[in-house]
Amino acid sequence: LTLEKELRQALKSHQFLLHYQPQVDHLGRVLSVEALIRWQHPEKGMISPAEFIPIAEETQLILPIGEWVIEEACRQIRRWDQQAVPVRHIAVNVSSRQFRHAGFVARIRHILAETGIDASRLVLELTEGCVISDIDDTVEKMRDLQGMGILTSIDDFGVGYSSLYYLKKLPISQLKIDQSFVRDIAVDPNGAVIVETIINMAKNLGLNVIAEGVETQEQIEFLQAKGCLSYQGFYTGRPASADSFGRRTHPAA
């Protein structure tokens, strides 16, 4: 079977699942989670999205898969609401091809209505490459999304095209500092300067900023001292199933 056929089969027989990684504030409170897809293959076991998302993107399969991710994320936040697990926002990764699709905004509107989730609970993570690839289409879509109350985050910020032009042109809510810069904080003075610069730029533009790939207390201390108060990484919580996540979540204040 080709991987494409297997992916099609996987959708039909419900072999995909979502793991969730917490995004915490400087007091360790979980503000939001990022949904990360996994493929529970009947023979090969758990397959990372790094292996199959590129193939899904080459084929049109990223459209139904991406849609399933948003649906399932919305259903999960509803379950957490019912269990009084205090997760405010759920972030999903959107691939470029999915975002460029003409029906993208309409599908999200439909999914929110169908699952009864308020748009303000949803964060869409878009990469720099995605947003600048057709800036006019991006502006239109992001304005529609913002109008609905959906939040948007620029994923892997700093490693893409580094065109800063789009930052003032687009209605963006958040910058996610790429993990390669966060990793460099302790070892590379230039890395530390880059992180500090991104934090200051986000602040000056009125954007929220979160650091990803946080693995040490030392990194958190640096980030906090520079004014970045949101963190995601193995240090504050690995991606895990919805159930284990609920138990780890702090009770509502």
Interface positions with ligand G (CB under 6 A) = 21, 36-37, 48-50, 53, 66, 69, 93, 95, 155-156, 179, 212-215, 233-234, 239
Q: Distance (Å, rounded) from C-alpha 65 to C-alpha 227? A: 37
Q: Distance (Å, rounded) from C-alpha 205 to C-alpha 189? A: 24
Instruction: Decide: is 98 part of the binding site for Mn ion (CB under 5 A).
Output: no
22 binds, among Mn ion, ligand G, Na ion, none (CB under 5 to 8 A by kind): none
Instruction: Decide: is 125 part of the binding site for Mn ion (CB under 5 A).
Output: yes
CB 29 within 8 A of CB 250: yes
Tokens representing residue 128 in the block: 């720099």
- In the complex, the smallest distance separating the C-beta of residue 125 from Na ion, rounded to whole angstroms, is 7
**Residue closest to ligand G (Cβ):** 233
Q: What is the DSSP letter of 211?
A: E
For residues 6 and 245, which CB has a smaller minimum distance to Mn ion in the complex?
Answer: 245
239 binds, among Mn ion, Na ion, ligand G, none (CB under 5 to 8 A by kind): ligand G
Burial class (CB in 10 A: 0-12, 13-18, 19+), 163: exposed
- In the complex, the smallest distance separating the C-beta of residue 236 from ligand G, rounded to whole angstroms, is 8
Distances (CA, A) of 147 to 79, 150, 219: 26, 8, 35
> Which range touches Mn ion (CB under 5 A), out of 40-48, 63-71, 120-128, 160-168?
120-128
Tokens representing residue 103 in the block: 């029906």
